Structure 1
């Protein structure tokens, strides 16, 4: 694909392409245990997009989704990787999703909460990562249960334990990993949402920039790049989103 120089300038006004990377979702990005450098599916896509535009890449790293979104909305970063949500869509132009991730509830083994329908009760307090996709979703959906916001998604289970809360909500794989390490915890049997992970750029960068990013994501799905990245990073439980 030939890239209009105006689009390149819209994406990289500083000369380098600044990618907002959220380490709060280990399915998308993490730190390499050897080098400490960010790695993962979103980092691979960021590198591919910088190569596509023909500009150098800079990674702007955050520990929570909300901070990552704010950086792109405020134009402290040029694009990022986010779960699609209408609130975020006020300032961010999203691509279609490139992967799909499931959101689940976690409770103690002895909890009377057995199904998703049991969660939304006045006596239940639900731990979520502040500003995460499931925080935004559950803020709209839960009518009776109280939401308690942990600082970041990786601290949800610790907040749930420290505060003696009834339910924790988050990405299935992260909750499963924490439950396996801690013991005495179980996931409910059904997901409460499908998290649609997409790339996004500030709407202020213009429609041509947004269209270029949308086309890039479709090509990355079509070519097998996303599937190969999931396999390379040994990510289980996430699936490549359908081509649109």
Structure 2
């Protein structure tokens, strides 16, 4: 994908201000997928709260903000009021469709995790959908918390137990199948639904496999039904 090649992307607006840090980190993480060098969000009380929770003795720094008269190469204004869950179709991150347009695609594997969507809040969203449910027959569900501390908190709060009870495999923090380097690799003609950030040919194993990128909520719903599923309908 392109659109911001070698540029710094700044995200702003009402929707961004309402996002928690985990959601903002996902936005910034994905800047590279449109060629960006950085994804920037103005620091605010959400930033302060996040840093004070993870840094002992935290003191507010001298924040740097964009000048009011700053000029931008391009400004894109998006109305997300009626935006439904999105799905990136094989084999590009910008090959995007509404979930309602692709529901019913059969899947072999669901991966919840990665640096993009493996934070505690992501796992909690997925667990709330999977609680008391079982994954579909013939579907593999792999869950990988992004860090050791997230793994420990999810374990302490019973979130990992929900995944295991649903039939998932919970692995140690790592990239997992996202980079095609370890467990969770897909075989020829298999379909993977993933919360990771890239779906290029061969990214998760066989070059003849297909990868759909989705949110943690869509991934959890898909694991239950064995096909791409809108989480708002369950």
**TM-score of the two chains, using structure 1 as the length reference:** 0.26
Greater relative CO (CA pairs within 8 A, separation 6+): 1
Bigger share in strand? 1
Instruction: Provide the TM-score with structure 2 as the length reference.
Output: 0.26
